[in-house]
Amino acid sequence: MTIGWVSRMRRFVADDGGAERCELCGAALGAVHRHAMDLSSRRMLCACDSCLRAAAAGGPLRAIAPTTIALGDFTLPDDLWERLQLPIGLAFLLESGEERRPLAVYPSPAGAIESVLSEDAWSALAAANPILFDMTPDVEALLIDRRDARRYFRVSIDRCYALTGLMRARWQGLSGGAALWDEVERFFVSLNEAPQRGVLAHG
């Protein structure tokens, strides 16, 4: 099933020349800014610093702390990969705090496709990789790329939104097209080159 909370980022287009604005209070934002997750609607919102501080205090909003951590020593043997039952080699895995279950989400030309992940397989994966134990539900994910080279990242959910938006916007034909996959490769290269924590720019 396609889920809007992952499939795209909604932008608020203001009257003053198309500048982006905080979707919580309307304050003007720069091109580089942070986001919050509305747990009640499962939508990611562009947010100003004041609203992010309020989100950090609790309630239905969660501030998204920009995170990119390359997991060079991540352990995912083939037998455990098969237990995850992921149909493609590009996906992100996260825990839903509201539903209290692990989820797998696949970027696609139609947006994001969600499926429920085996709890036993997720527990085994976390046991082999303790860095997953303290992942923040709803706003952090394990990003997996096993199409060719095997790459793993712990990222904030905005990185996953960015990859999903890229694939949805640039997909051509049945296979996506060489230009798209070149951009996907650049996306992963940028994750490797990024500091462990930084701010995601739109575009």
Looking at per-residue pLDDT, the higher value among 122 and 4 belongs to 122
List the structure tokens of 130: 């303790």
Report yes or no on 200 lying in a domain: no
* Domain identity same for 55 and 87: no
* Domain identity same for 57 and 75: no
* C-beta of residue 138 within 8 angstroms of C-beta of residue 78: no
* Domain identity same for 59 and 74: no
- Distance in angstroms (rounded) separating the CA atoms of residues 90 and 187: 13
* Domain identity same for 175 and 92: yes
Report yes or no on 202 lying in a domain: no
* Domain identity same for 41 and 77: no
Instruction: Identify the bridge partners of residue 151 per DSSP, sorted by sequence position.
Output: 145
* Domain identity same for 51 and 75: no
What mean pLDDT do residues 160-169 have?
A: 90
* C-beta of residue 113 within 8 angstroms of C-beta of residue 171: no
Full residue range of the structural domain in which residue 138 is found: 68-193
Check residue 107 and report its DSSP letter.
E
- Distance in angstroms (rounded) separating the CA atoms of residues 45 and 40: 12
Please give the mean pLDDT across all residues of the chain.
83
Q: Check residue 41 and give its pLDDT.
A: 78
* Domain identity same for 49 and 132: no
* Domain identity same for 44 and 84: no
List the structure tokens of 103: 């989820």
Residue % of the chain over a pLDDT of 70: 86
Q: For the segment 54-88, what is each residue's pLDDT rounded down to a tens digit? A: 887 778 889 998 899 999 999 999 999 999 998 88
Report yes or no on 198 lying in a domain: no
* Domain identity same for 82 and 51: no
Check residue 20 and report its DSSP letter.
B
* Domain identity same for 36 and 110: no
Report yes or no on 136 lying in a domain: yes
Looking at per-residue pLDDT, the higher value among 62 and 100 belongs to 62
Q: For the segment 125-158, what is each residue's pLDDT rounded down to a tens digit? A: 999 999 999 999 999 999 999 988 899 999 999 8
**Is 149 exposed, middle or buried, given 0-12, 13-18 or 19+ CB atoms closer than 10 A?**
exposed
Q: For the segment 2-31, what is each residue's pLDDT rounded down to a tens digit? A: 333 333 333 322 344 456 899 999 999 988
* C-beta of residue 72 within 8 angstroms of C-beta of residue 47: no
Check residue 88 and report its DSSP letter.
S
Domain count along the chain: 2
Closest CA to 42 of 86, 8, 68: 8
Looking at per-residue pLDDT, the higher value among 199 and 144 belongs to 144
* C-beta of residue 2 within 8 angstroms of C-beta of residue 113: yes
pLDDT band at 161 (very low <50, low <70, confident <90, very high): confident
Domain boundary among 64, 82, 105: 64
